[in-house]
């Protein structure tokens, strides 16, 4: 009898600690996550309705700005056109050890239809590899002498389609067009990226342009008015999102932005998991760090309306750049699994099921061709939320990694022929070691423990979702996602 009492004492103490300390803290975390979830679903619903209204309005009256077609530029032998008809255009091509795509980028810029005497093409080569620098220099010389044959040519009338908006609407500072992806069908990871970025352009950019004449510049596939750049203080390297930085500062000067989704520009998605992680860290951390640096400047600004300041502070920065990455990981990968082991805590069904289902449906509506991939998208985005939350906190707190800049790896022509999907063949031991990601595997272990406890002893029945999420963390932890580039 005494031994029975002594053996039940630790269990009683554990139950008391769980009920007295763990449960209240977890309950507070649950309600904080539910509050953030409500903000996120409201923002998603608002953007979705605004983007649908923008699409309907566009069918009726175009984009709401004056646009008149430009005549084809005269031949080189003809007299130079007047500056008002064809203003001077500067095309900038940043390069950094990108031997796979330098020909494509330079060729695309040189293929643009515009009078030769009214366009300047700058190749901003920061390469540290002497071989790559020599290749880029040779390519530029060959294009200057017109001895090269274009291997990859985008829409050459890009400037003829976008420049009229700047010519006829003096308040517009930026015309942003939409990306389309040349390698979206390489693997499941690139298909999932395409879903997220299509939603970004169709909903976030479309609604921002329609409702507020503001959105974040995507860093490419856009045309800026040089006077707006100069008035806003030019480019600044204080964060890893100098494109977004310029856009916010220009908006605070009263300039308007226009998103034109009918014009598309080819782009390449990162197809390796490591490259995608680096890209997402740069984007997420930079945006959060910019929020930290510019919040007070936005609050005290006198040149824009309270409506636009509210959009910038609350919608654009706080909900989408801070709340979204933190909530996704904290709620779906930490709080829900932990609550499966604490019977004193119950999550309301509207927060556990209705809100995430609503967000998923709103995304699926704008990606009807990818509905069958939605389960994979959910699991993948939850794993990536771990990196995005860490990046967001790094930017908000301005830690040592806040300004880490790793150029996204590109493969150019290789995407068609030479990329290998890692699940299709075994990897060498050294390759396996390089592709193991410890944080993902630790989270997978945590989720497996929570799911197993719920399956054996719990009463929440969360284990189906938690097991699936554990599998996703395990697969990505062992690097079985994306592609790997061929060995050199």
CB atoms within 10 A of CB 350: 13
CB atoms within 10 A of CB 339: 24
CATH 3.90.550.10 fits 88-292, yes or no: yes
Tell me if 221 sits within 8 A of 260, measured CB to CB. Answer: no
pLDDT of residue 422: 44
Q: Containing H/E element for 266?
A: strand 256-267
Antiparallel, parallel or unpaired: β 172-181 and 222-224:
antiparallel
Active site residue 243: yes
Tell me if 276 sits within 8 A of 189, measured CB to CB. Answer: yes
* Residue 164 or residue 401, greater confidence: 164
Query: Does the pLDDT of residue 421 top 60, yes or no?
Result: no
Read off the pLDDT band of 74 (50, 70, 90): low
pTM of the model as a whole: 0.89
Among 85, 117, 126, 129, the active-site one is 126
Contacts made by residues 370-375, CB under 8 angstroms, sequence distance 24+: 370/191, 370/194, 370/195, 373/188, 373/191, 373/192, 373/195
**CA distances from residue 232 to 246, 250, 251, 255, 313 in whole angstroms, order as listed:** 7, 5, 9, 10, 19
Mean pLDDT of 285-295: 96
pLDDT of residue 423: 40
Active site residue 157: no
pLDDT of residue 425: 41
Mean pLDDT of 256-262: 96
* Residue 473 or residue 267, greater confidence: 473
Among 85, 117, 237, 243, the active-site one is 243
DSSP secondary structure string, 184-209? Answer: TTSSHHHHHHHHHHHHIIIIIIHHHH
Contacts of 298 (CB under 8 A, 6+ apart): 248, 252, 309, 312, 313
265-275 tens-digit pLDDT: 988 999 999 99
Mean pLDDT of 319-323: 96
Mean pLDDT of 359-367: 92
Q: Most confidently modeled of 212-221, 417-426, 467-476? A: 467-476
In 50-113, beta strands by DSSP E: 89-95
Query: Does the pLDDT of residue 201 top 80, yes or no?
Result: yes
Query: Does the pLDDT of residue 20 top 50, yes or no?
Result: yes
Q: How far apart are CA 328 and CA 311, in angstroms?
A: 22
pLDDT of residue 429: 43
Read off the pLDDT band of 156 (50, 70, 90): confident
Query: Does the pLDDT of residue 416 top 70, yes or no?
Result: no
pLDDT of residue 254: 95
pLDDT of residue 137: 81
* Residue 15 or residue 214, greater confidence: 214
pLDDT of residue 418: 47
Q: Which residue has the tokens 């706080």?
A: 318
427-458 tens-digit pLDDT: 444 455 567 899 999 999 999 999 999 999 88
Mean pLDDT of 127-155: 66
Read off the pLDDT band of 420 (50, 70, 90): very low
Read off the pLDDT band of 136 (50, 70, 90): confident
Query: Does the pLDDT of residue 412 top 70, yes or no?
Result: no
Domain residue ranges of the chain, discontinuous segments joined by +: 24-60+319-412+430-478, 88-292
């Amino acid at each position: 009898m005494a031994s029975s009492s002594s053996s039940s004492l630790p269990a009683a103490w554990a139950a008391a600690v769980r009920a007295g300390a763990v449960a209240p803290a977890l309950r507070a975390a649950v309600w904080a996550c539910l509050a953030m979830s409500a903000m996120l679903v409201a923002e998603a619903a608002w953007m979705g309705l605004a983007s649908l209204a923008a699409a309907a309005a566009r069918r009726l009256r175009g984009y709401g700005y004056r646009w008149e077609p430009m005549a084809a530029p005269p031949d080189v032998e003809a007299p130079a056109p007047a500056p008002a008809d064809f203003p001077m255009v500067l095309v900038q091509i940043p390069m950094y050890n990108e031997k796979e795509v330098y020909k494509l980028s330079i060729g695309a810029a040189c293929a643009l239809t515009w009078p030769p005497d009214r366009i300047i093409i700058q190749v901003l080569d920061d390469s540290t590899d002497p071989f790559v620098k020599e290749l880029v220099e040779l390519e530029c010389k060959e294009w200057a002498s017109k001895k090269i044959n274009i291997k990859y040519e985008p829409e050459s009338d890009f400037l003829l389609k976008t420049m009229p908006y700047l010519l006829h609407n003096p308040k517009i500072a930026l015309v942003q067009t939409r990306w389309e992806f040349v390698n979206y069908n390489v693997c499941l990871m690139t298909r999932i990226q395409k879903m997220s970025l299509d939603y970004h352009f169709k909903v976030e950019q479309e609604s921002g342009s329609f409702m507020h004449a503001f959105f974040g510049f995507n860093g490419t596939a856009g045309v800026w008015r040089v006077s707006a750049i100069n008035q806003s203080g030019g480019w600044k390297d204080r964060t890893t999102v100098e494109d977004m930085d310029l856009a916010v500062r220009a908006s605070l000067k009263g300039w308007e932005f226009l998103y034109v989704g009918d014009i598309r520009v080819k782009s390449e998605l990162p197809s390796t998991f490591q490259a995608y992680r680096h890209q997402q860290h740069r984007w997420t951390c930079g945006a959060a760090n910019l929020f930290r640096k510019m919040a007070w400047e936005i609050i005290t600004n006198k040149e824009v309306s309270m409506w636009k300041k509210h959009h910038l502070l609350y919608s654009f920065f706080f909900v989408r750049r801070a709340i979204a990455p933190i909530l996704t990981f904290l709620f779906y990968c930490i709080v829900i699994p932990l609550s499966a082991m604490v019977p004193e805590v119950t999550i309301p069904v509207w927060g556990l099921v209705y809100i995430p289902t609503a967000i998923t449906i709103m995304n699926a509506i704008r990606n009807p061709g990818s509905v069958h991939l939605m389960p994979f998208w959910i699991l993948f985005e939850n794993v990536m939320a771990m990196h995005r939350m860490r990046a967001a906190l790094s930017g908000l707190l301005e830690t040592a990694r806040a300004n880490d800049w790793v150029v996204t790896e590109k493969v150019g022509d290789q995407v068609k022929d030479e990329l290998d999907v890692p699940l299709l063949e075994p990897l060498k031991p050294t390759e396996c070691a390089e592709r193991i990601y410890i944080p993902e595997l630790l989270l997978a272990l945590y989720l497996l423990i929570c799911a197993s406890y719920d399956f054996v002893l719990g009463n929440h029945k969360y284990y189906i979702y938690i097991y699936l999420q554990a599998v996703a963390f395990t697969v990505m932890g062992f690097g079985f996602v994306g592609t790997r580039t061929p060995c050199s």
